[in-house]
Chain A
């Protein structure tokens, strides 16, 4: 099948220390405005707009990002991704991120909210140079239903394969099926309701890894955080929390360290 419900393709390049679009293509349910420059670093920022308002039955989405050498991009969304009831086939989203040497990619979307009986599958492939930097955040909420029942959805399936210099280094695979799993219980969400994941891969992570670890161990009493060094120069952080704000706070906190090494501060991305 070639037809995507929504498709976004960004190809970015660095032109005299400013990241500009070599090409921007979107069609269907995805749209971006002109790039924003949130500070004077030259890093471009796009907000993905979904004029349709949410994902419905059988939808298929593609986000494809190619960062050329030394290009820097922050990609986020304008609002939460709402996944509605799925009767026929699961909603499918594919993310393809290709990061060339020296590029910096921050992917920090709004939370995913799956509605009653929703089925959602996401496949992410990141193919990056070991000299590129990645900040990849993801947020899962307990969903939404009219009866305010938590975890009313059927399936949320998130798979990410990360290749560094052509070698598979991370296979991240999460499958939430609240109707057959004891999702609130031991082993799953441990009594929490929200889940966040943050992966930082950065050739210079050793400059701030110790400080970041201390910060994670010390500053977030309300959530439960696990983090682990990857085989490559990077860290994976998993967070169990009780609301979206707690997760955003951890992302922001970690972003401070990531940003600081480029001499930047964390922008205010959200409008709420």
Chain B
């Protein structure tokens, strides 16, 4: 990876990226209101199950498969993954969160990298039964930047987890330092998770633990909310 690639990757993973990730907790807020997530330790517990049992089989696997499809020049597979990745998200708020964040990342990506295949993705959304998803937009940008498959997945998982921790810092709340040590702890997990994702196939896409899903659905009916999902 040259310096320009490295810097582009920093930018892409920056939690200040204006794609609206800070508005979405993906069910975490339900756990906070239930009192089940209330400090760094309980946040870690939630994050581990979310990352290893949901994100791994949805965003993480989607990003990996999407990148592979691009690498093989197989856009048909890429759209098939897009349809499945959207259809496996059964909580309406999480589904809409992915579409919104995905769309904003797509538009930002186009501003940063004009004349890229992102235009094809955007056209496909207009004309077909295809929705934007941040994992796939990320894979597309990373592919344009000539990053490797592993770098792409690792970076995507990192940026998502880092965003969720930022939300926890505000939402629980926990201290900024606690947030950073948690993110530090997650780094070795992200590596392991990436190794695991590489052993999976499209048949594994969407496996979701019921409790996380129930919490994501229940979020729709919370009386007071600071997050949109």
Give chain A's interface residues, CB within 8 Å of chain B. 167-175, 181-182, 185-190, 195, 217, 224-231, 236, 238-240
Is the CB of B73 closer than 8 A to any CB of chain A? Answer: no
Whole-angstrom distance between the Cβ of A195 and the nearest chain B Cβ: 5
Interface size on B, residues (CB 8 A): 35
Contact between B88 and A188, CB atoms less than 8 A apart: no
Query: Which of chain A's residues have a CB closer than 8 A to the CB of B57?
Result: 173
Q: Mark the stretch among B17-25, B160-168, B183-191, B208-216 that contacts chain A.
A: B208-216
If the complex has contacts A167-B129, A168-B87, A170-B90, are A188 and B209 also in contact, measured as CB distance less than 8 A?
yes
Whole-angstrom distance between the Cβ of A100 and the nearest chain B Cβ: 21
Whole-angstrom distance between the Cβ of B125 and the nearest chain A Cβ: 14
By DSSP majority rule, is chain B's interface helix, strand, loop, or mixed? helix
Whole-angstrom distance between the Cβ of A12 and the nearest chain B Cβ: 28
Contact between B209 and A238, CB atoms less than 8 A apart: no
* Shortest Cβ-Cβ A-B pairs, 4 listed: A226-B217, A187-B49, A226-B214, A173-B206
User: In the bound complex, how far is the Cα of B54 from the Cα of A209, in angstroms?
Assistant: 28
Show 10 residue pairs from A and B whose CB-CB distance is below 8 angstroms, ordered by the A residue. A172-B90, A172-B206, A186-B49, A187-B209, A187-B212, A188-B209, A190-B211, A226-B217, A238-B210, A239-B214
Chain A proximity mask over B32-69: 1 for CB below 8 Å, otherwise 0: 00001000000001100110011001000000000000
Query: Which of chain A's residues have a CB closer than 8 A to the CB of B206?
Result: 171-173
14 further A-B contacts with Cβ under 8 Å, apart from A173-B88, A225-B214, are: A168-B84, A172-B206, A173-B57, A173-B207, A186-B36, A186-B211, A187-B54, A187-B211, A188-B209, A188-B210, A226-B91, A226-B216, A236-B217, A240-B214
User: Which partner residue on chain B sits nearest A172 by CB separation?
Assistant: B90
Whole-angstrom distance between the Cβ of A184 and the nearest chain B Cβ: 10
Query: Which of chain A's residues have a CB closer than 8 A to the CB of B205?
Result: 171, 173
User: Which partner residue on chain A sits nearest B46 by CB separation?
Assistant: A186
Most buried by B among A188, A190, A236: A190
Query: Which of chain A's residues have a CB closer than 8 A to the CB of B77?
Result: none
Contact between B211 and A228, CB atoms less than 8 A apart: no
Contact between B210 and A228, CB atoms less than 8 A apart: no
User: In the bound complex, how far is the Cα of B190 from the Cα of A197, in angstroms?
Assistant: 31
